[in-house]
Amino acid sequence: MTEQSTSPASAGTATGPLLVELVALAHRRLTTGLASALAEEDCTVDQWRVLRALADGEGHPMGELAQALLIPQASLSRLVDALADSGLVYRRQGDQDRRRITAHLSRQGRTRLTRLDALAAAHDAAARRACGIADPARALERLAGM
């Protein structure tokens, strides 16, 4: 009887792990590293993602933002509440429809995002070097349907 490897990369089938399994593992490792880097600025990965989404200056309705970021609306509301309490984002009622609330990045949020993006870029560069691939994002963008 031969001993089978129990590493996650070999736990799939006899032909190897499924692509979805590899992507899930890579996601967890990358996100864990990014979370550690962002924690230096007392920020979570999801908070950083919200700030980045608002950086275009357009203002985004909460429902559309939740859908774009794949964050449940209730969770997004809590995230935006915390960011607003910190002065990093603000909400604005629509001029024509007062029920339509959009979230916007504040000046303080833009300054904070610059620091967070620098931490994320350093983490990204280290991950790219570790992969030994010049542009791993291109393959992932195709997989993600971007």
Q: Report pLDDT digits (tens) over 51-97.
A: 999 999 999 999 999 999 999 999 999 999 999 999 999 999 877 77
The whole-number pLDDT of residue 4 equals 43
Q: Considering the chain, what percentage of its residues have pLDDT values greater than 90?
A: 58
Instruction: Return the axis-axis angle of helices 45-54 and 107-131, rounded to nearest 10°.
Output: 120
Q: Report pLDDT digits (tens) over 124-135.
A: 888 888 877 666
Closest CA to 61 of 79, 77, 37: 77
Output the average pLDDT for the chain: 85
Query: 18-144: which CATH topology?
Result: Arc Repressor Mutant, subunit A (1.10.10)
The helix/strand count (H/E) of the chain reads as 6, 3
Helix, strand, coil percentages for the chain (3-state, nearest 5)? 60, 10, 30
**Contact (Cβ atoms closer than 8 angstroms) between residue 89 and residue 54:** yes
pTM of the model: 0.79
Residue ranges of domains in the chain? 18-144
The whole-number pLDDT of residue 34 equals 95
